[in-house]
Amino acid sequence: MSFERVIAALDSKQQTILRAVKNHAESLLDHSPRFKFFTLHGKTHIENLFVILQILIDGGIKLKPEERYLLSLAICVHDLGIVVSLRDYDVTKVLDGRPAATDPAALELFVRETHHELVDEYFRKNLDFLIALGVSPTQLAQVVDISRCHRRVVLQQQIGIIRFLGAMLRVIDELDVGGNRAPADVFLNLVDDMDATACWHWFKHNITEPWFVGHTVSYVTEDRQQRIVFRLAVRPTKQGSIPYWLHQILRPIRKALYDEEAARIIADHTKVEIECFGADGMSKANNLGRVWSSIEDKALSAGRKVILVIDDEFRKLEDSFYPLMDSYHVVSSFNARDALSKLEATPVDLVIVDLQIGAGGLWKDHETQDFKSTGINICKKIRASFPSAKVGVLTGTHHALPDIASLRLDFFLRKPVDPDTLLSTVKNVLG
């Protein structure tokens, strides 16, 4: 058991405290009501995090006893905010009174951010049990600060041990993407009662290969530099959806490692680099049968017509799209490459394109006139590769428009757009 391996280096008192804290946290999390879009956050998740921590330790990351002790405590309690948030808040409150977006990936980001803020409430009111177990007030304060670092907190603004262990916790938490957080037997029994968002979360865990050293994890030493390399592999029901799932599952991991600089913080402290890539060659479509294929379709479309909005400012425009979400499955993309991965993953009925948007590396700057004509390129690509999709433009560009007659657009609208106007326009196109 990885938990016991991790704590074996600690003294007997610390081991006793950690076993008690772990049992306490598991009991609370395993018996708390959950939002329908959460997978398991109790015993299974905690044990998974210790498995990942042991992989990192075996790969060369050395932790001092106090670091190992504080990080282990934080692993056990970092999700306890879910207890209060799931008991005392409903979805509407968590989303600040806004209706839930139909794009599971977008909703996931919103819930992550909001859940982080609710965590503090539990920490303020309920962590005194650690004092009763023998954790000192100073250590308790450190554990709270480390635990908060698993979401949103700017790691670079932390100092010393909090920054390092906070970075470790954030990476370990994001790497828990395996299937045992969403047991397949439970999933199959409940999927008919799940909404598309819950289905999306449970499905993505079930198609992700677990971390195994020698297969999806490797230890590399080059020029005296140690690296731990994670290669993410997925097995959805169709080949075309592999890029979509790789991107969606990799996105939060790579965001934590690179955008939020957790990898650099860990490397500065331990001299060990952590890397994570999508393993295209290891990812394959599995012939899982009609049931799993229908589950993937539900996860990607909710059984409704799908509208893909390609706009890097979609969050600012959401109010305009809420009326559409009652009748259509609305998905957003922030650049051209992300949009094409979603078009490959599932049939899209209507694509709404902003003309000035990033290419995501799909085209060079000069090919899009420094992004001024990226939307034109996207429309041409859709017409050539996805001829059944309707295409509309919603733009706020002030640049002179190129000749768009050849694109055979189904509509052309200017920002800002009235929600009722957008809704009636879409209904005229899709019915």
- Structure token digits, residue 190: 């409940």
* Domain edges within the chain: 2-278, 304-430
Intra-chain end-to-end CA distance of the chain, in Å: 56
SS3 260: coil
Q: Measure the CA–CA gap between 193 and 49, rounded to whole angstroms.
A: 29
> Which uninterrupted H or E stretch holds 343?
helix 336-345
Q: Measure the CA–CA gap between 55 and 69, rounded to whole angstroms.
A: 17
Measuring CA to CA, which residue among 344, 333, 336 is closest to residue 243? Answer: 344
DSSP class per residue in 63-83: --HHHHHHHHHHHHHTTTHHH
Give the pLDDT score at 129: 80
Q: Measure the CA–CA gap between 301 and 305, rounded to whole angstroms.
A: 7
Give the pLDDT score at 7: 97
Give the pLDDT score at 87: 45
Give the pLDDT score at 220: 96
Residues in the chain: 431
Q: What angle do CA 116, 298, 216 make, to 5 degrees?
A: 65
Q: 414-421: long-range contacts (C-beta < 8 A, 24 or more apart)?
A: 415/317, 416/320, 417/320, 418/320, 419/319, 419/320, 419/321, 419/322, 419/323, 420/323
Q: Measure the CA–CA gap between 395 and 413, rounded to whole angstroms.
A: 7
The rounded average pLDDT for each run of 10 residues, N- to C-terminus, in the chain (431 residues) is 95 96 86 59 91 98 98 92 54 55 64 58 72 90 91 91 98 94 90 83 94 97 94 94 90 94 98 96 90 90 87 82 86 86 87 82 57 78 92 79 77 90 94 77
Q: Looking at the domain 304-430, which fold is it?
A: Rossmann fold (3.40.50)
Chain centre distance of CA 416: 30
Give the pLDDT score at 112: 58
Phi, psi of 378 (to 5 degrees): -60, -45
